[in-house]
């Protein structure tokens, strides 16, 4: 559905540049790097959910043969709590320094308290056992309702709520109109409370790094992250080594989904390397990943929506409590800010509460907070539509946000594509198709839901160089987690008018390309396409000038077309075109190497909207819900590489189906995660999912040279509500908590049968 | 750091000698699909590993003249899958074995390892119990036979004596009109562990069930033979009343726990549902309908 059809490369499903390496096993992930003299680091982690650390004695560990260095919080730069926030992006370094190594208190099972580097992993692990930590075990709470009780054990005494120490670390609100007045006008008001469990991003590649600190302090980091500059900055701040001395080299990344936007190992490994004088490698086990890296928040949300008989929503109120884990900073902005945004609601109050509790610190997960909020809001939307006897998509169309709508979180929308997504869903073959009947003992249902995510711009740098043989190397500063290299190659090939295969896109390290912000917020292709476009335009300008010089005509009389310089018209002169290859050959004599770089703080990233349709089939004896058909509709701005855009939509849906049906952190009575592995933390496998159909609606972003909008996060936002509504449609039972796992569905069906019998 | 000694004896006597000599520090390695995972996670740290795959008897699959089968304890799931006859005679045992791990794991995973791992949720065990399999074990004091249901002693434990190695499974010959089936409940569609697993083996003559055995997994500390369920089916035409009686026997046999994999109530209910479904599949196979 490309709006512009005369493009040669933009909109093509070109072969992914990293594909061959990945399928042949050549791709270098973080754990694949080794160095001569390398030793291994291991982390000693707290067994307690909450404990004061009275003392740490590392002397026995230090004496174990093979041990080369031991690190505790004394080796990590302290950012004192009472001196105020020190922000790096959305992370407060006061929390980061305490998250990578516990200081006065251990705040969750798995919280690092010390680390050892030794000649083998086994010796390092043995040495960890020799470290004696004197803990004063404290009462703890993990669930929101426990953490906000007045008598709950408080994680951070300095944190006050209503004048008293509390685990409520913050509140955010978006407000529009007057909800009390609004609800008075409503004919139908529905209010429901929902809970969701913490879920992990589930990247296949565990956190890993190899770090070398030379005697002169020059530090090299090989690690897998969503931002080598974030790794450099955080490591610098937490170790005191200046950024100019740290070269952070991004490895190929085996999944991140937001979870690799912070560091865990790098500052610790850097200090181990510095103290030992040896390169130090650290690789987390899956269990460490599950216990100590950020799942997203568990939540408790209450949503109330009031509408008139004609379907007009007059008021809405949402209250979203999100678990932050050990330190403040849950994604309440996504929950409170995104959930009502698809709708034009005159009276709205959307509140988010940030709640600390004794589990690992939350990390970003694909549209952080937005899926949690949308789950609650979209489920209530479905109930209101039902109460009004309206088709749920018509109800959404009736209230849809459009150009000129003022969103509660601030902006007045420019031209947006939300309505187009609802209309496309309504007109889809899927929505028109009858549900059909499954085998005996099954029931089918269909549900729909919408979702919104902000999308981000921010800092990006690019360098476009013409090689001596007339090909192109593009360097950007963003780890590629969603196909940005292929997208950039398409754009560059288009602009330069050359074959896609002649463009090589690489990701630079921190000392070879200019600052580029994280891969996150669905920002990478939006932002890097801008800097790459401007760089390519500069290169084209140079090429025109070179041709003009050779032809001895004015540069304005030269045009760039189909990979070659041509005179703009016969009047300009009669010259054979000069190709990129020819101009590259002549470059040394004509002014030197050809290349250009651009660095920008990009703006103009429009938010993204999606609308999903989901069919489920439920085995009513066993309570197993299977998604049998799924269509994701999204306003994608402009699909530079449609295959990758569809991949993003399908990947988001797959994660949402897991969140809806089976994924959850299960804690045991000691406050420890009871399912820290992929056997019992049940992400969907391939056979659990149908082929996920995608409808890409293209409403180009007018503020972007190619019309790009971020696409990576929106597709997770609507999923859980779409699945929940489909299950309701099948069974006539509404579920107000996730996951909708077989025992839960089965118990609800049994309760229904029992109720009917009584 | 203690090293691990790896031994790959060519004969059973050699293996038994080495295994008995090493005492409790030794572990038997068949496919390793449980052992290596446990070693990596630090659950076990064996001093000696005795790899039994090089011993011919341990991987052999033999069909006797009477139609019985003897399969080596370390025969892989894939070798059984590719055997021209085994899956035709024991489709339920084969489907239980083939559910261990993933396709890739099947090249290594074995029914012997699955049994000796001692998990109440092992997929091949209920099917083997239903089949009436007899195992041969050999130790320093010679060979002996046990019913397969008598092997597990509890989670992670078996009734084998110190130094004894599981050698083979013998599946009996059976009259025409016999077949079996295995079903398990998992929240996903694959790559998962049974919340409940059930094997049913039947003989049907002239529409009447003349023999039936039911094995039930993941609902008690060990996989169980549910004799009452089999009895409820024998003599019936597998009508609803008989099926419900057998399902009730399965539910009554359950002694499950509430855990991350399922609730007590859910497991009990599921045992009954799966009894009916598995019996239907086995009956269809037995009658060729």
Regarding whether B157 and B54 lie in a shared domain, the answer is: yes
Closest chain B residue to A674, measured at CA: B260
pLDDT of residue A291: 98
- Report the C-alpha gap between A722 and A740 in whole angstroms: 12
* Terminal Cα-to-Cα distance of chain A (whole angstroms): 55
Altogether, the residues listed in chain B come to a count of 289
CA dihedral A152, A157, A161, A162 (to 10 degrees): 100
Regarding whether A505 and A412 lie in a shared domain, the answer is: no
- Report the C-alpha gap between B237 and B202 in whole angstroms: 12
CA distance A666 to chain B (A): 7
Of B1, B189, B191, the CB nearest to A122: B1
Residue B224 inside a domain? The answer is yes
Residue B195 inside a domain? The answer is yes
Please compute the mean of the pLDDT values over residues B101-107 and round it to a whole number: 92
Of B185, B187, B270, the CB nearest to A682: B187
Of A621, A666, A685, the CB nearest to B188: A685
- Report the C-alpha gap between A551 and B5 in whole angstroms: 78
Q: Decide if pLDDT at A120 tops 80.
A: yes
Closest chain B residue to A749, measured at CA: B266
- Report the C-alpha gap between A49 and B257 in whole angstroms: 25
Smallest CA-to-CA distance from B268 within A443, A743, A740 is with: A743
- Report the C-alpha gap between A407 and A532 in whole angstroms: 31
Interface test with B, best of A130, A441, A677, A742 (most B CBs within 10 A): A742
Residue B125 inside a domain? The answer is no
**B3 inside 8 A of chain A by CB:** no
Contact status, residue A498 vs residue A561, Cβ threshold 8 Å: no
CA A738 to chain centre: 21
Pairwise CB contact (< 8 Å): B260 & A621: no
List CB contacts (< 8 A) between A121 and chain B.
none
Closest chain A residue to B269, measured at CA: A622
Strand order of the sheet with strand B178-185? Answer: B178-185, B196-205, B208-217, B224-225
Please compute the mean of the pLDDT values over residues A143-155 and round it to a whole number: 97
Please compute the mean of the pLDDT values over residues A742-751 and round it to a whole number: 96
Residue A153 inside a domain? The answer is no
Pairwise CB contact (< 8 Å): B261 & A680: yes
Please give the DSSP secondary-structure letter assigned to residue A64.
S
SS3 of A279-302: the string is CEEEECCHHHHHHHCCECCCEEEE
Residue A154 inside a domain? The answer is no
Please compute the mean of the pLDDT values over residues B112-124 and round it to a whole number: 97
Residue B129 inside a domain? The answer is no
CATH classification of the domain holding B218:
3.30.390.50
Residue B128 inside a domain? The answer is no
Give the Cβ contact number of residue A279 at 10 Å.
Answer: 23
CA distance A249 to chain B (A): 29
Pairwise CB contact (< 8 Å): B260 & A680: yes
Smallest CA-to-CA distance from B214 within B260, B156, B276, B139 is with: B276
For residue A606, what pLDDT band results from cuts at 50, 70 and 90? Answer: confident
Regarding whether A217 and A350 lie in a shared domain, the answer is: no
Of B185, B187, B265, the CB nearest to A662: B187
User: Domain boundary at A545, A575, A602, which?
Assistant: A602
pLDDT of residue A656: 98
CATH classification of the domain holding A287:
3.90.1170.50
CA A720 to chain centre: 17
Tell me what ipTM this predicted complex has: 0.94
Of A285, A687, A743, the CB nearest to B190: A687
Integer Rg of chain A from CA: 27
Smallest CA-to-CA distance from A336 within A198, A199, A171, A455 is with: A171
Regarding whether A414 and A467 lie in a shared domain, the answer is: no
pLDDT of residue B41: 83
Pairwise CB contact (< 8 Å): B188 & A684: yes
Regarding whether B139 and B89 lie in a shared domain, the answer is: yes
pLDDT of residue B122: 97
Regarding whether B187 and B154 lie in a shared domain, the answer is: no
List CB contacts (< 8 A) between B189 and chain A.
626, 685, 687-688
Q: Over the stretch A297-342, which tens digit does the pLDDT of each residue have?
A: 999 999 999 999 999 999 999 999 999 999 999 999 999 999 999 9
For residue A704, what pLDDT band results from cuts at 50, 70 and 90? Answer: very high
CB pairs under 8 A between A and B: 55
List CB contacts (< 8 A) between A626 and chain B.
189
User: Domain boundary at A602, A632, A655, which?
Assistant: A602
List CB contacts (< 8 A) between A122 and chain B.
1
Regarding whether A486 and A410 lie in a shared domain, the answer is: no
**B262 inside 8 A of chain A by CB:** yes
C-alpha distances in Å from residue B71, one per residue of B57, B80, B123: 8, 9, 17
Give the Cβ contact number of residue A573 at 10 Å.
Answer: 15
**Residue B195 lies in domain:** 178-287
CA distance B16 to chain A (A): 30
H helix or E strand, kind and range, residue A173: strand A168-176
pLDDT of residue B1: 47
pLDDT of residue A753: 85
Contact status, residue B211 vs residue B203, Cβ threshold 8 Å: yes
- What is the number of structural domains in chain A? 3
Contact status, residue B188 vs residue A682, Cβ threshold 8 Å: yes
- Token digits of residue A440: 């005996």
Residue A15 inside a domain? The answer is no
- What is the number of structural domains in chain B? 2
H helix or E strand, kind and range, residue A247: strand A246-250
Please compute the mean of the pLDDT values over residues A132-138 and round it to a whole number: 98
Residue B126 inside a domain? The answer is no
Regarding whether A116 and A250 lie in a shared domain, the answer is: yes
C-alpha distances in Å from residue A432, one per residue of A383, A398, A424: 21, 20, 11
- Report the C-alpha gap between B273 and B24 in whole angstroms: 41
H helix or E strand, kind and range, residue A51: strand A51-57
Regarding whether B143 and B71 lie in a shared domain, the answer is: yes
Regarding whether A350 and A483 lie in a shared domain, the answer is: no
Pairwise CB contact (< 8 Å): A622 & B185: yes
The rounded percent of chain B whose pLDDT value lies above 90 is: 92
Please give the DSSP secondary-structure letter assigned to residue A640.
S
Residue A481 inside a domain? The answer is yes
CATH classification of the domain holding A520:
3.30.365.10
Residue A412 inside a domain? The answer is yes
- Report the C-alpha gap between A143 and A152 in whole angstroms: 11
Q: Over the stretch A418-466, which tens digit does the pLDDT of each residue have?
A: 999 999 999 999 999 999 999 999 999 999 999 999 999 999 999 999 9
CA distance B133 to chain A (A): 29
Q: Decide if pLDDT at B6 tops 90.
A: yes
Regarding whether B139 and B30 lie in a shared domain, the answer is: yes
Regarding whether A364 and A245 lie in a shared domain, the answer is: no
Chain A: residues touching B (Cβ < 8 Å): 120, 122-123, 126, 285, 287, 621-624, 626, 661-662, 666, 674-675, 679-680, 682, 684-685, 687-688, 741-743, 746-747, 750
Regarding whether A495 and A470 lie in a shared domain, the answer is: yes
Pairwise CB contact (< 8 Å): A742 & B187: yes
Quickly list DSSP for chain B: -PPPEEE--SSHHHHHHHHHHHGGGEEEESS-TTHHHHHHTTS---SEEEE-TTSHHHH-EEE-TTS-EEEETT--HHHHHH-TTHHHH-HHHHHHHHTSS-HHHHTT--HHHHHHTT-TT-SHHHHHHHHT-EEEEEETTEEEEEEGGGSEEETTEESPPTT-EEEEEEE----TTEEEEEEEE-SSSSS---SEEEEEEEEEETTEEEEEEEEEESSSSS-EE-HHHHHHHTTS-S-HHHHHHHHHHHHHH-----BTTB-HHHHHHHHHHHHHHHHHHHHHHHHT-
**B119 inside 8 A of chain A by CB:** no
Regarding whether B228 and B213 lie in a shared domain, the answer is: yes
Altogether, the residues listed in chain A come to a count of 758
**Residue A512 lies in domain:** 456-602
pLDDT of residue B43: 87
Regarding whether B264 and B148 lie in a shared domain, the answer is: no
Backbone angles phi, psi at A631, to 5 degrees: -125, 125
Regarding whether A677 and A628 lie in a shared domain, the answer is: yes
Strand order of the sheet with strand A558-561? Answer: A558-561, A564-567, A578-579
Residue A1 inside a domain? The answer is no
Interface test with B, best of A672, A743, A747, A754 (most B CBs within 10 A): A743
pLDDT of residue A756: 81
Residue B210 inside a domain? The answer is yes
CA distance A467 to chain B (A): 45
pLDDT of residue A2: 39
pLDDT of residue A6: 79
Regarding whether B259 and B223 lie in a shared domain, the answer is: yes
- Report the C-alpha gap between A40 and A115 in whole angstroms: 10
CA dihedral B191, B197, B201, B207 (to 10 degrees): -100
Q: Over the stretch B212-227, which tens digit does the pLDDT of each residue have?
A: 999 999 999 999 999 9
Regarding whether B262 and B217 lie in a shared domain, the answer is: yes
**B260 inside 8 A of chain A by CB:** yes
Q: Over the stretch B29-45, which tens digit does the pLDDT of each residue have?
A: 999 999 999 998 888 99
Regarding whether A748 and A649 lie in a shared domain, the answer is: yes
Regarding whether A448 and A360 lie in a shared domain, the answer is: yes
**B270 inside 8 A of chain A by CB:** yes
Q: Decide if pLDDT at A194 tops 70.
A: yes
- Report the C-alpha gap between A216 and A236 in whole angstroms: 15
Work out whether strand A112-118 and strand A39-45 pair parallel, antiparallel, or are unpaired.
antiparallel
Regarding whether A723 and A623 lie in a shared domain, the answer is: yes
Please give the DSSP secondary-structure letter assigned to residue A360.
P
pLDDT of residue A5: 57
List CB contacts (< 8 A) between A741 and chain B.
187
Pairwise CB contact (< 8 Å): B41 & A675: no
**B288 inside 8 A of chain A by CB:** no
The b-or-e profile of A389-424 (16+ CB within 10 A means b, else e) is ebebbebbbbbbbeeebebbbeeebeebbbbbbbbb
Among the residue ranges A164-173, A695-704, A749-758, the one predicted with the least confidence is A749-758
- Report the C-alpha gap between B244 and B49 in whole angstroms: 47
Of B260, B262, B269, the CB nearest to A674: B260
Regarding whether B12 and B146 lie in a shared domain, the answer is: yes
Where in A334-378 does DSSP place strands (E)? 347-356
Pairwise CB contact (< 8 Å): B193 & A688: no
Which pairs with CB-CB distance under 8 Å and at least 24 residues apart come from A513-516? A513/A461, A513/A462, A513/A463, A513/A475, A513/A476, A513/A477, A514/A461, A514/A463, A514/A477, A514/A597, A514/A599, A515/A229, A515/A459, A515/A461, A515/A477, A515/A599, A516/A227, A516/A229, A516/A459, A516/A460, A516/A461, A516/A476, A516/A477, A516/A478
Regarding whether B150 and B42 lie in a shared domain, the answer is: yes
Residue A180 inside a domain? The answer is no
Residue A178 inside a domain? The answer is no
Contact status, residue B177 vs residue B204, Cβ threshold 8 Å: yes
CATH classification of the domain holding B113:
3.30.465.10
List CB contacts (< 8 A) between A690 and chain B.
none
The b-or-e profile of A77-105 (16+ CB within 10 A means b, else e) is bebebeeeeeeebebbbbbbbbbbbbbeb
- Report the C-alpha gap between A101 and A111 in whole angstroms: 7
Residue B72 inside a domain? The answer is yes
Regarding whether B160 and B254 lie in a shared domain, the answer is: no
């Amino acid at each position: 559905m490309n709006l512009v059809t005369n493009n040669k490369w933009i909109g093509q499903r070109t072969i992914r540049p990293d594909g061959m390496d990945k399928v042949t096993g050549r791709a270098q992930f973080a754990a694949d790097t080794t160095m001569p003299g390398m030793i291994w680091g291991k982390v000693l982690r707290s067994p307690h959910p909450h404990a004061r650390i009275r003392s740490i004695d590392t002397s026995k560990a230090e004496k174990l043969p093979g041990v080369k260095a031991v690190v505790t919080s004394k080796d990590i730069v302290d950012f004192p709590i009472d001196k105020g926030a020190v922000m790096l992006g959305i992370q407060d370094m006061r929390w980061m320094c305490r998250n990578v190594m516990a200081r006065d208190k251990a705040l969750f099972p798995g919280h690092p308290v010390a680390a050892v580097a030794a000649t083998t992993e086994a010796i390092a692990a043995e040495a960890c056992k020799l470290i004696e930590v004197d803990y004063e075990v404290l009462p703890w709470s993990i669930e929101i309702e426990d953490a906000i009780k007045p008598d709950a054990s408080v994680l951070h005494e300095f944190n006050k709520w209503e004048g008293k120490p509390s685990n409520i670390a913050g509140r955010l609100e978006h407000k529009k109109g007057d909800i009390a007045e609004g609800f008075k006008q409503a004919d139908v008001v529905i209010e429901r409370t929902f809970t969701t469990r913490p879920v992990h991003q589930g990247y296949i590649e565990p956190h890993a790094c190899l770090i070398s600190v030379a005697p002169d302090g020059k530090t090299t980091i090989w690690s897998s992250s969503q931002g080598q500059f974030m790794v450099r900055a955080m490591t610098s701040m937490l170790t005191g080594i200046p950024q100019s001395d740290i070269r952070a080299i991004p490895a190929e990344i085996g999944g991140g989904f937001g979870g690799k936007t912070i560091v865990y190992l790098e500052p610790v490994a850097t200090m181990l390397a510095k103290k030992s004088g040896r390169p130090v490698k650290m690789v987390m086990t899956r269990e460490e990943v599950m216990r100590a890296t950020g799942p997203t928040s568990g939540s408790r949300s209450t949503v109330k929506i009031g509408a008139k008989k004609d379907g007009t929503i007059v008021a809405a109120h949402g209250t979203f409590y999100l678990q932050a884990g050990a330190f403040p900073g849950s994604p309440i902005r996504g929950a409170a800010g995104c959930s009502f945004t698809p709708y034009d609601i005159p009276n709205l109050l959307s509140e988010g509460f940030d709640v600390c509790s004794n589990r690992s610190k939350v990390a970003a997960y694909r549209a952080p907070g937005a899926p949690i909020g949308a789950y609650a809001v979209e489920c209530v939307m479905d109930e209101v539509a039902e109460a009004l006897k309206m088709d749920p998509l018509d109800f959404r169309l009736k209230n849809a946000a459009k150009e000129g709508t003022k969103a509660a979180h601030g902006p007045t929308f420019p031209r947006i594509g939300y309505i187009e997504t609802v209309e496309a869903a309504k007109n889809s073959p899927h929505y028109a198709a009858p549900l059909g009947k499954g085998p005996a003992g099954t029931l089918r249902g269909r549900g729909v839901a919408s979702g919104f995510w902000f999308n981000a711009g921010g800092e990006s740098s690019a360098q476009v160089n013409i090689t001596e043989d007339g090909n192109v190397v593009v360097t950007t500063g963003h780890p590629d987690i969603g196909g940005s290299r292929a997208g950039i190659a398409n754009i560059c090939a288009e602009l330069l008018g050359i074959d896609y295969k002649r463009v090589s896109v690489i990701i630079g390290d921190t000392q070879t390309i200019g600052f580029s912000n994280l891969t996150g917020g669905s920002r990478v292709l939006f932002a890097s396409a801008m800097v790459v476009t401007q760089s390519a335009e500069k290169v084209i300008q140079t090429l025109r000038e070179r041709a003009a010089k050779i032809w001895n005509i004015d540069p304005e009389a030269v045009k760039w077309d189909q990979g070659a310089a041509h005179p703009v018209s016969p009047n300009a002169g009669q010259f054979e075109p000069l190709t990129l290859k020819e101009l590259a050959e002549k470059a040394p004599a004509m002014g030197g190497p050809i290349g250009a770089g651009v660095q920008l703080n990009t703006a103009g990233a429009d938010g993204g909207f999606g609308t999903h349709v989901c069919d489920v089939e439920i085995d009513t004896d066993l309570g197993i819900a299977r998604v049998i058909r799924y269509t994701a509709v999204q306003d994608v701005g402009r699909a530079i590489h449609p295959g990758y855009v569809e991949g993003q939509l399908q990947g988001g849906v797959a994660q949402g189906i897991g969140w809806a049906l089976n994924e959850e952190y299960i804690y045991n009575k000691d406050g420890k995660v009871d399912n820290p592995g992929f056997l019992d933390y049940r992400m969907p496998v391939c056979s659990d999912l149908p082929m996920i159909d995608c409808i890409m609606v293209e409403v180009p972003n007018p503020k972007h040279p190619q019309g790009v909008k971020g696409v990576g996060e929106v597709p997770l936002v609507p999923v859980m509500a779409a699945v929940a509504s489909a299950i309701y449609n099948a069974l006539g039972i509404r579920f107000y908590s996730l996951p909708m796992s077989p025992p839960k569905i089965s118990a609800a069906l049994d309760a229904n049968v029992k109720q009917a019998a009584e | 750091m203690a090293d691990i000694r790896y031994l790959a004896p060519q004969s059973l006597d050699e293996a038994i000698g080495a295994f008995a000599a090493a005492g409790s520090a030794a572990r038997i390695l068949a496919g390793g699909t449980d052992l290596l995972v446990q070693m990596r996670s630090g659950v076990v740290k064996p001093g000696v590993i005795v790899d039994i795959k090089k011993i011919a008897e341990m991987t052999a699959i033999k069909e006797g003249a009477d139609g019985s089968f003897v399969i080596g304890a370390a025969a892989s799931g894939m070798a059984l899958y590719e055997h021209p006859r085994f899956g035709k005679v024991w489709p339920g045992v084969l489907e239980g074995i083939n559910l261990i791990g993933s396709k890739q794991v099947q090249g290594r995973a074995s029914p012997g390892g699955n049994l000796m791992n001692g998990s109440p949720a092992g997929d091949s065990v209920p099917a083997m119990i239903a089949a009436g399999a007899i195992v041969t074990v050999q130790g320093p004091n010679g060979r002996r036979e046990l019913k397969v249901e008598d092997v597990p002693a509890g989670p992670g434990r078996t009734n084998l004596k110190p130094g004894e190695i599981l050698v083979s499974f013998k599946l009996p010959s059976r009259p025409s009109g016999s077949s079996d089936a295995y079903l398990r409940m998992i929240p996903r569609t694959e790559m998962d562990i049974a919340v409940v697993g059930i094997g049913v083996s039947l003989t049907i003559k002239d529409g009447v069930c003349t023999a039936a055995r039911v094995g039930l997994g993941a609902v008690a500390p060990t996989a169980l033979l549910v004799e009452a369920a089999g009895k409820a089916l024998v003599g019936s035409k597998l009508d609803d009343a008989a099926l419900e009686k057998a399902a009730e026997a399965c539910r009554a046999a359950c002694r499950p726990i509430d855990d991350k994999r399922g609730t007590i109530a859910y497991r009990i209910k599921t045992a009954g549902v799966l009894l009916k479904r598995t019996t239907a599949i086995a009956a269809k196979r037995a009658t060729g309908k």
